[in-house]
Amino acid sequence: MKIYTVGGAVRDRLLGLPVADRDHVVVGATPEDMVSLGYQPVGKDFPVFLHPQTHEEYALARTERKSGRGYKGFTVYATPEVTLEEDLRRRDLTINAMAEDESGTLIDPYGGRADLAAKVFRHVSEAFAEDPVRILRVARFAARFDGFVVAPETNGLMRRMVADGEVDALVPERVWQEIARGLMEARPSRMFRVLRACGALERLLPEIDRLFGAPQPPAHHPEVDTGEHVMLVVDWAARHAMSLPVRFAALTHDLGKGVTPRDLWPRHHGHEAKGVELLRALCERLRVPADCRDLAIAVARDHGNAHRAPELRPGTVVELLERVDAFRRPERFEAFLEACECDFRGRPGYEDRPFPAPDYLRQALRAAQAVDAGAVALRVEPARIREAVFQARAQAVAALHSHAGGNWEHFPHQADMGVRGTGPTLAAAFEQAALAMTAVVTDPSRVAPKEAVDIRCEAAGDELLLVDWLNALIFEMAARRLLFGRFAVTLDGHRLHATAWGEPVDPARHEPAVEIKGATYTELKIAKNEAGQWLAQCVVDV
Amino acid sequence: MDLARFKQVSEVEWQVAPSGRMRVPAVIFADQALVREMDDKVYEQLTNVASLPGIVQAAYAMPDAHWGYGFPIGGVAAFDADAGGVVSAGGVGFDISCGVRTLHTGRRTDEIAPLKQRLADRLFAHIPAGVGSTGPLRLNAAGMDAMLRGGARWAVEHGYGSAADLDRIEERGCMAGADPDKVSEQAKRRQRDEIGTLGSGNHYLELQEIMEIHDAKAADRFRLRVGEVVVSIHCGSRGLGHQIGTEFLRQMVAAAPSYGIELPDRELACAPITSPLGQAYLGAMRAAINCALANRQVITHLARQVFAELLPGTHLTLIYDVSHNTCKQELHTVDGQSRRLHVHRKGATRAFGPGHPALPDDLRDIGQPVLIGGSMGTASYILVGTETGMTRAFSSACHGAGRAMSRHQATRQWRGRSLVDALASQGILIRSPSLRGVAEEAPGAYKNVSAVVEAAERAGLARKVARLKPLVCIKG
């Protein structure tokens, strides 16, 4: 008898990847030979043994023949006469059909090494068609191995298998298992692209397949296509090592956009509610585990609200927190926020924009949690407790808006005006100074947050950074004819990254008093007072 | 301001001898009352200016001086490039070449009176004013550069006005040495559709009646007669100038230490005239001057269109166009020697006296018209440059009343609506997109312009020719 290392171990070694599991094929032996050598029999459908010391898998060389639909209908022949080449021939891809003998010599009868070098997934033989799970495996490999493409003949074979109805016979648990594993790979999008190219996606996940070709408004989605957006979202989730539930939620958050009537494109009003129905059916069909399902439903239903959170009324924010069960399941709330962030960032140009919604929702949750529900309950009749607790929480969230962010004011300068912002952090003081600047022109509360502008600047110090920040806003206001009413600033040393929300100047509604020419170094000051409040101020020229 | 800090040289001249870092004296031209009302910051800023490298003769403040950025507004300072002199973005200001032009209508008040409401409404509708407004032109990159090189001459070449206008504009309507390549893309983007817009704040277009003639000879040469109506336009280089000011101020703040310049105030940021940064700024600033000249020329054209529609046969002829936020290279006699100096005028008007070669032929013997803007309800003045002025503050005079009160205080004291009503009862029609803007610009928030002009005349900076009263004010 002869023992060979086969499959993934050989492939990964040639790729220079760490080898996790080592599978072996034994040629010229009977099950009895193996048992007599101390190997432990484990295979139910075919003869596989565990090594007495290493516990690695040793399988007798075998051939398989298809005897029915689906992946279970096989007849197995495992006799001492089966050769290594025959065993390798039943495998899916050439890159997985290589072996190494005990001296390290490579046995590569089907050109696996060349395909590895060319980064091609190519089936070994027509026997590939006997197991439809292999389509999912190829797709999953695509998600794992960077730069590999499916050989045209293999794609053609997979298309024929799909046309023959092979994938329709796959059991749901197996489909979910492969999809879940693919989602945990480095580039999940490539799995869905391979499945789509052979037509399998339409059979297995028609809800995802339909997203390709459904346009979204370019103003918010530079990538336009919903399918492309979802691919960016799952890849962003993978790149940031998100959990399986978060990745699944990322994949399924926009299902509703696939059923928008074409005449309404590129708008998708109410896609969240429609998406939830589709998602429930999908989870039922594939027997998706409860943790993945529940998070995905919450994200599909409320991702839009989460993005808009800083603009929502306090009561609406509390409703959102209740709906996603944030009070009882804070860890799932975190996962919810992660999935929403994947959605936000899965757009070209949004990868590192400030996204204040998660921090705002966390703050809102903390404020609402601080409400003593027991004490509130004692003050009202039993029938009104729920309502009273809700109101108290809404008030706590409302207080966040008026205090935590700080304050702004104007101070006099003979010809022009001084703007001053204060806040618990330097970033908050910068936001408030910007509000004070808007207030030189109009009442900031009259400015609706309809458009977001990304702003970055860097300076040699905090004071210079304040001037640069205000001047960057002045430029955007002037060049785009916008007014800004809301700001989210993040500071990293003397680097500023911010989003400013606003709308075009409407003279009738905003009654703009003056246009601002520039922020100046006059009366420029950054300071922190005894109460720990930051102050940021300078004079603006009008 | 404490008068004890000055040596009083005359009734209208106050001096601070050099001390500490000051290289030259600081001089304020104003009467006692005006000096007393000035903010202490004017003293601080003027003495800071006197400490800058290469400053020549003295740092001057005009009678309307008030607290500005680095330089006081109403400040004049000249620098010699060969003596390490500097150019300062703050010494020019954000609104580069902001200025005033005044045009004759050739019509008497009684001819205008029946049409006053309609003129006010049509001018307000036709001339873009206020935050977010856009002008009649959209400039592409080549058009932008041509405008920045050509100034008012470019506008005339494009059908906005006539060649005769150019004679009555400083630099003959086109500032030499403008370098559009030194103007950033951001600055150009801010300007793309702002040519032909008034802007906001204290900018305006007014119809004014000539109320009084103080100097019959000069008035005759300027063709000013009591009871006739003129149009005055006050605005500047718009977003382009603001962005250039912002960007070069930033660069000069960062670069000053590398030139060994110590800044008592960051806003005084400057660079040696001969340095690459100094030259780049001068190229960009001159482009902004052209932008302002083109802007006022296009607005003039828009005003002419309205008059042609409502009062056919009216010819608006340009009396003069002055800029009051500039740095210009000029020849001046210092201690008997003729020197080429870079004269910063920040909120100050050039006021060349009789015989100056830069004046158009038909005004050379009388001197340059100096246009002093008012503030809605109050008078404007036309002065003329004098011989003595050329030896005082490098031929400079005041530019307007100057604020006496901050915008903040003004909005607390006045309401736009009642102000508009009160002025209407005095026969002054206000049209503005913003009532709050009107309140901030309330006439009461400014110093008494008559006192300022009086002081300028007594100091010999310029001589009063005529007093004007507003009839209609289109406010940005």
Kindly indicate the confidence band of residue A404, based on its pLDDT and cuts at 50, 70 and 90: very low
Judge whether A504 is closer than 8 Å to chain B, CB to CB.
Answer: yes
Interface test with B, best of A483, A517, A538 (most B CBs within 10 A): A517
Give the burial class of A215: count Cβ atoms within 10 A of its Cβ; 0-12 exposed, 13-18 middle, 19 or more buried: middle
Residues in A 396-425 with any Cβ partner in B closer than 8 A = 410-417
User: Cα–Cα distance between B437 and A511 in angstroms, integer?
Assistant: 9
Note whether residue A171 is domain-resident.
no
Q: Which one of A515, A516, A538, A539 would you mutate to disrupt binding with B, by most B Cβ within 10 Å of its Cβ?
A: A515
Residue A352 has pLDDT above 80, yes or no: no
Cβ contacts of A468 on chain B, cutoff 8 Å: 250
Considering A85, A101, A127, which residue would you say is the last residue of a domain? A127
Does position A488 have pLDDT exceeding 90, yes or no? no
Q: How many angstroms separate the CA of residue B407 from the nearest CA in chain A?
A: 6
Contact B66 A467 (CB under 8 A): no
Query: In the prediction, which pLDDT does B97 show?
Result: 97
CATH number at residue A452: 3.55.10.10
Answer whether B433 sits within 8 Å of A521, measured CB to CB: no
Q: Tell me what pLDDT residue A45 has.
A: 73
Nearest-neighbour CA in chain B from A369: distance (Å): 41
**H, E, C per residue of B236-248:** CCHHHHHHHHHHH
Q: Is residue A21 included in any domain, yes or no?
A: yes
Residue A315: its pLDDT value, please?
A: 92
Best of A410, A413, A443 to disrupt the B interface (most B CBs within 10 Å) is A413
Examine residue A279 and state whether it is found in any structural domain, yes or no.
no
Domain boundary among A66, A95, A127: A127
Choose the final residue of a domain: A97, A127, A157.
A127
Q: Answer whether the bond into residue A266 is a cis peptide, omega within 30°.
A: yes
Residue of A nearest to B132 (CA): A481
Please provide the average confidence, as pLDDT, over all residues in chain A.
92
Q: Is B73's CB within 8 Å of A521's CB?
A: no
- Total of domains in chain A: 2
Measured between beta carbons, the chain A residues lying within 8 angstroms of B130 are 507, 512, 515
Q: Which of A105, A81, A108 is nearest to A94 (CA)?
A: A108
Under an 8 A CB cutoff, do B242 and A478 touch?
Answer: yes
Is the CB of residue A460 less than 8 Å away from at least one CB of chain B?
yes
Neighbours of A153 (CB within 10 A): 10
| Strand ranges, E, within A297-429 | 407-412, 417-423
Which is it for strands A63-66 and A74-77: parallel, antiparallel or unpaired?
Answer: antiparallel
Q: What is the pLDDT of residue A346?
A: 95
Q: What is the CA radius of gyration of chain A?
A: 30
In this structure, the number of other CB atoms found within 10 A of the CB of residue A25 comes to 21
For residue B412, list chain A residues with Cβ-Cβ distance below 8 A: none
Q: List C-alpha distances in Å: A177 to A133, A136, A288.
A: 10, 10, 9
For residues B353 and B367, the answer to whether their CB atoms sit within 8 Å is yes
- Closest Cα partner for B123 from B233, B211, B226? B233
Instruction: State whether A460 and B94 contact (CB < 8 Å).
Output: no
How far away is chain A from the Cα of B194, in angstroms, using its nearest Cα? Answer: 10
Decide if A295 is inside a domain: no
Distances (CA, A) of A192 to A179, A227, A236, A237, B348: 9, 10, 15, 15, 70
Name the residue of chain A whose CA is nearest to B266's CA.
A521
Residue type, A357: A
Q: What is the pLDDT along chain B (476 residues), one digit of tens a residue?
A: 899 999 999 999 999 999 999 999 999 999 999 999 898 999 999 999 999 999 999 999 999 999 888 999 999 999 999 999 999 999 999 999 999 999 999 999 999 999 999 999 999 999 999 888 889 889 999 999 999 999 999 999 999 999 999 999 999 999 999 999 999 999 999 999 999 999 988 899 999 999 999 999 999 999 999 999 999 999 999 999 999 999 999 999 999 999 999 888 899 999 999 999 999 999 999 999 999 999 999 999 999 999 999 999 999 999 999 999 999 999 999 999 999 999 999 999 999 999 999 999 999 999 999 999 987 878 999 999 999 988 899 999 999 887 888 887 888 788 888 899 999 999 999 999 888 889 988 988 888 899 999 999 999 999 999 999 999 999 98
Residues of B with a known catalytic role: 399
Q: State how far the Cα of A497 lies from the Cα of A144, in Å rounded to an integer.
A: 34
Domains of chain B, first to last: 3-83+95-404+446-475 (3.90.1860.10)
Contact A507 B132 (CB under 8 A): yes
Q: Find out whether the peptide bond into B63 is cis, omega within 30 degrees of 0.
A: no
Tell me the shortest Cα–Cα distance from A136 to chain B, in angstroms.
52
Query: Could you report the predicted ipTM of this complex, rounded to two decimals?
Result: 0.92
Average pLDDT over residues A188-200: 97
Instruction: State residue B213's pLDDT score.
Output: 97
Residues 6+ positions from A9 with CB-CB distance below 8 Å = A19, A21, A22, A23
- Beta bridge partners, B349, equal B397
The answer to whether residue A19 sits within a structural domain is: yes
Burial of A76 (0-12, 13-18, 19+ CB in 10 A): middle
Q: Which of A209-223, A415-429, B317-331 has the lowest mean pLDDT?
A: A415-429
Residue A354 has pLDDT above 80, yes or no: no
Within a domain: A169: no
Of the partner residues A413, A416, A507, the one whose CB lies closest to the CB of residue B130: A507
Q: Which amino acid is at B424?
A: A
From A220, A234, A228, A299, select the one nearest A266 (Cα to Cα): A220
The helix-helix angle for A314-323 and A290-308 (nearest 10°) equals: 170
Q: What is the CATH number of the domain that holds A49?
A: 3.30.460.10
The more confident residue out of A356 and B230 is B230
Chain B residue with minimal CA distance to A504?
B132
* A141 found inside a domain: no
Q: What is the mean pLDDT of residues A500-525?
A: 91
pLDDT at A308 over 50: yes
Q: Is A453 on the interface with B (CB under 8 A)?
A: no
Q: Do A521 and B69 touch (CB under 8 A)?
A: yes
Q: In the sheet where A482-492 sits, what is the strand order?
A: A451-458, A495-504, A482-492
In a domain, A460, yes or no: yes
What's the pLDDT score for residue B467?
A: 97
Whether residue A250 has pLDDT greater than 50: yes
Per-residue confidence (pLDDT) for residue A403, from 0 to 100: 43
Counted across chains A and B, CB pairs separated by less than 8 A come out at 124
- How many Cβ atoms from other residues are within 10 Å of residue A373's Cβ? 17
Name chain B contacts of A505, Cβ cutoff 8 Å.
Answer: 131-132
Residue range of the domain that includes A11: 2-127
Q: How far is B154 from chain A (nearest CA, A)?
A: 23
**What is the structure's pLDDT at A72?**
59
